[in-house]
Structure 1
Amino acid sequence: MDSPRRPILFVSSPESGLLNPMLTLAAELSGRGVENLWFATDEPRRAEIEGIGSGTPVEFASLGEVVPEMSAVTWDDETYRAVTQSSRFKAHRAVLRHTVDPELRVGKYRALEAAVDKIGPALMVIESLSLFAVELAITRKIPFVLSVPFMPSNVLTSHTPFSKSYTPSGFPVPHSGLPYRMSLTQRIENRLFKLRTFAMFLAPSMAKVVAKDGPIRAELGIAPEARGQMARIDAAETVLVYSVPELDYPFPVPAKMRLVGALVPPLPQAPDDRQVSAWLDGQDSVVYMAFGTITRLTHDQVRGLVEVARRLEGRHQVLWKLPEAQQEYLPPVGQRPANLRIESWLPSQLDVLAHPSVKVFFTHAGGNGYHEGLYFGKPLVVRPLWVDCHDQAVRGEDFGVSLTLDRPETIDPDDVVDKLTRVIGTSSFRERAEHFAALQREAGGREAAADAVLASPALR
């Protein structure tokens, strides 16, 4: 192919849920022989970035070490409890209080500024939560594609009642977990969610933080047009969303938005690892449990999930991806049910979800997991963790592909077993999941995303 030689610079936060789709997209461009690819993120991801080039190399540009306040993986236990509490507004407020600090972006902005000076990108591909990168692109007038691993309404709906929004008035506000068809009480709750978000920035503690924004913007030289929640949408050349319209509630989608479905690499992703795949080959029905890199299960929650496996014994096998740090809560090996297989790490979750023996995905319903499970036609049982997970959970129920635990903050074995049994045993859940699998595949995935990037006028 006639490969563009002008630099393309990817920018992402280091969290797996934000980074992984962009790794797939960068690898697709590399495999097509596109030259001059760069990827900027935090230093701990260096080896992963340098290893993704299947064709042309992908060069790493370091943004330094992880800033603890900017990474949910490194938050202390008190903050974790606050952002995952059962009150959706209080959890939303806790996230904002912990992350909205203009000073946090200064180091990343400066590091990216140095990388941009060195690379001279013709086009940037920016993960949607890397707002410092959006600000730099707008300030430097560098064309950019916005990468969105959430539902489209997540980035198009304002969190306050007085700001620009691309969705209609009364649309469920992100992080509220409210449905499209609301009762009067829910409509009031939706309105109050926005008003309370606005009011929190008027409180003295947050007002002091916000007051630092202007001087820091002036110090960094950030352009005025980079201000505001919708600046990333308004200024983007293209907005790539790894979903399909049918998996969100209806609203007019902006013309610049391309919904391409989940970004899935060529499979098998880990062809040399046969240990888990060989085990899956020998099973008839497997429940796959995985709750993402942020979830921190307690002793009681771990023991509750072991009891769930025990009650499924004789009917279903259970494959559980459980981080090693949380395995201390497991009972001794000899006291675990025989149908339970624990893995601290899997070479490829996608290979697992693609396996025909997996009948249901028990998940926290993060943006990637939700869409990837459905990409492979797997119905879901959902234990939503926080923020957008509640939004995916309510849509999954409304669209007939999932059931949600009655009390996600706990693990009630009776409730979990009931939900798993109903989803596996009711054919409509699988049929609806397979319907959305077909829609996502038709949307084009990584190939369509790569085509959209390469169609940028900045590369011509």
Structure 2
Amino acid sequence: MGANPRPILFVSYAESGLLNPLLVLAEELSRRGVADLWFAADEKARGEVEAAGVDSAVRFASLGETVSQMSAVTWDDETYAEVTQRSRFKAHRAVIKHSFAPRSRIGKYRALEKIVEEVRPALMVIESMCQFGHELAITKSIPFVLGVPFVPSNVLTSHVPFAASYTPSGFPVPHSGLPGVMTFRQRIENELFRVRTLGMFMTSSVRKVVEEDNRIRTELGIAPKARQMMARIDHAEMVLCYSVPELDYPFPMHEKMRLVGTMVPPLPQAPEDDGLSDWLSEQKSVVYMGFGTVTRLTREQVGSLVDVARRLAAAGHQVLWKLPRSQQELLPPAEELPDGLRIESWVPSQLDVLAHPNVKVFFTHAGGNGYHEGLYFGKPLVVRPLWVDCDDQAVRGQDFGVSLTLDRPETVDADDVLDKITRVLDEPSFTERAEHFAGLLHDAGGRAAAADLLLGLPALATH
């Protein structure tokens, strides 16, 4: 592997919501001709990583095949139902239950350890959810930058009481979906969220997993300082967050946090799109429906959304729906689909779609990337929150006047969906507010600002 004394090693899970922002940053560095760029991820990301090389190569370092506990798209239907249920605490607990599997990360840690020994990176850029990545960087004393695709408080707020936290007391706990200004009942709920999370780790079943985790950390040689609650923040050279302060509730920002806005590559990202951009240009008003790679709709929910498209068409609005091929079998017969509905199993670039002026509303699950991408292009949102951070983005979007959230997201009631979409389309304030935040996200600098910050770090100094 590389012999340059200043290699940069990116590390990420292969899930698109986590991987994509780091790919944009790696591509920007490549476009600037930065040498010795490496990217460690699961084997399935090989093609995307290698495609990020523009003027200098981005070399792929394989972490092996995907481990189920680390990939929500591989979870069975029972697990999916548990982690996406509407009780936010129960869903939060289910995510911990299914992803807290210490033995599953042994192979990833060892694979990354071998890559690090061969590449000898001067700097690592690690996706915030990639625990084995920051554990290894801290243990090996390798300077690293943490990449965060969520609002900043997501990684600065503790989930349990009495632990280090970099937001004020009473701040909404991540995954709680609670607002910044709470009623007395909500404040109690917020505190109970922390207490119940701590209580979960005191049950006999979870304590056994914690004990196993401690044994495995010792077996891997992970430094004790890497095990602390806020280790990934405390030991990072810098925390790159793809948001802006105004899209979170106010709090004193951590000194290491650098908010650079949405990570967007040069557009068009996919000029060859099989006529999709031409179709968008032929319409006057398009509602784009895209719910990420994890969402699994039922036949009833698909039927409700077809009904919504039919009723929107009657009002002069077209619908572009990104619906995975595996779920298209739930659609009614083709002859029963409304003329105003275009269904794609995959769009070559969601960013190109959102950038199109005829797209007026983004109907989304409000994952970290989708939420910020929609607003970057000034598109107001209608939100069907899916899980974990989606509820947090949904409540902020509604409070900041850029979105409305479904009253009954679990059923996808057609009347509820149509009401929210129609209100966002008809009330100018939603677009005005979205365009306001678009200006802030653009001004933050995006990929260019992130690359400048990275290249300015002492770890990459050449003398």
Q: Does TM-score exceed 0.5, indicating one fold?
A: yes
Equivalent residue letter for 2:273: D
- How far apart are residue 102 of structure 1 and its match? 1.6
- Kindly provide the CA deviation profile for residues 132-186 of structure 1, in whole angstroms up to 9, marking residues without a partner as x: 0100000000000000000000000000011100000000000000001100000
Partner of residue 184, structure 2: 184
Matched, 1:307 2:291: no
Equivalent residue letter for 1:219: E
Partner of residue 14, structure 1: 14
- Kindly provide the CA deviation profile for residues 364-421 of structure 1, in whole angstroms up to 9, marking residues without a partner as x: 0000000000000000000000010000000000000000000111111101101000
Distance 1:309 1:141 in 2: 54
- How far apart are residue 272 of structure 1 and its match? 2.2
Partner of residue 24, structure 2: 24
Matched, 1:445 2:436: no
Distance 1:244 1:413 in 2: 33
Matched, 1:431 2:451: no
Distance 1:247 1:367 in 2: 11
SS in 2 for 1:208: helix
Distance 1:445 1:229 in 2: 29
SS in 1 for 2:453: helix
- Kindly provide the CA deviation profile for residues 160-213 of structure 1, in whole angstroms up to 9, marking residues without a partner as x: 011100000000000000001100000000000000000000001101100112
Equivalent residue letter for 1:143: P
Distance 1:197 1:218 in 2: 25
Q: TM-score, normalised to structure 1's length? A: 0.99
Partner of residue 285, structure 1: 285
Distance 1:102 1:86 in 2: 27
**Correspondence 1:81-230 to 2 at 5 A:** 81-230=81-230
Partner of residue 36, structure 1: 36
Q: How many residues align?
A: 457
Partners of 1:101 and 1:210 within 8 A in 2: no
Partner of residue 383, structure 2: 382
Distance 1:354 1:5 in 2: 40
Partners of 2:5 and 2:122 within 8 A in 1: no
Partner of residue 62, structure 2: 62
Equivalent residue letter for 1:189: E
Matched, 1:251 2:228: no
- How far apart are residue 258 of structure 1 and its match? 0.4
SS in 1 for 2:360: strand
Q: Calculate percent identity across the aligned residue pairs.
A: 70
Distance 1:281 1:311 in 2: 21
Partners of 1:5 and 1:35 within 8 A in 2: no
Distance 1:16 1:358 in 2: 23
SS in 2 for 1:361: strand
Runs of 4+ in 1 over 6 A off after TM superposition: none
Distance 1:123 1:96 in 2: 30
SS in 1 for 2:34: coil
Partners of 1:5 and 1:34 within 8 A in 2: no
Matched, 1:372 2:370: no
Equivalent residue letter for 1:387: V
SS in 2 for 1:212: helix
Distance 2:196 2:60 in 1: 41
Partners of 2:69 and 2:101 within 8 A in 1: no
Distance 1:308 1:131 in 2: 41
Partners of 1:148 and 1:241 within 8 A in 2: yes
Matched, 1:414 2:415: yes
SS in 1 for 2:102: coil
Partners of 1:359 and 1:424 within 8 A in 2: yes
Distance 1:225 1:183 in 2: 38
- Kindly provide the CA deviation profile for residues 309-337 of structure 1, in whole angstroms up to 9, marking residues without a partner as x: 01111320000000000000101111101
Distance 2:287 2:454 in 1: 37
User: Structure 1: any 5+ residue segments left out of the alignment?
Assistant: none
Partner of residue 234, structure 1: 234
Partners of 1:242 and 1:263 within 8 A in 2: yes
- Kindly provide the CA deviation profile for residues 90-139 of structure 1, in whole angstroms up to 9, marking residues without a partner as x: 00000001111221211100000000001000000000000101000000
SS in 1 for 2:258: strand
- How far apart are residue 23 of structure 1 and its match? 0.4
Distance 2:47 2:165 in 1: 39
SS in 2 for 1:26: helix
SS in 2 for 1:384: coil
- How far apart are residue 5 of structure 1 and its match? 5.8
Partners of 2:138 and 2:235 within 8 A in 1: yes
Moved more, 251-260 or 317-326: 251-260
Equivalent residue letter for 1:330: L
Partners of 1:379 and 1:401 within 8 A in 2: yes
Partners of 1:304 and 1:412 within 8 A in 2: yes
Distance 1:308 1:24 in 2: 34
- How far apart are residue 229 of structure 1 and its match? 2.6
Matched, 1:321 2:322: yes
Distance 1:116 1:40 in 2: 10
Distance 1:47 1:174 in 2: 33
Q: TM-score, normalised to structure 2's length? A: 0.98
Partners of 1:360 and 1:424 within 8 A in 2: yes
Partner of residue 393, structure 1: 394
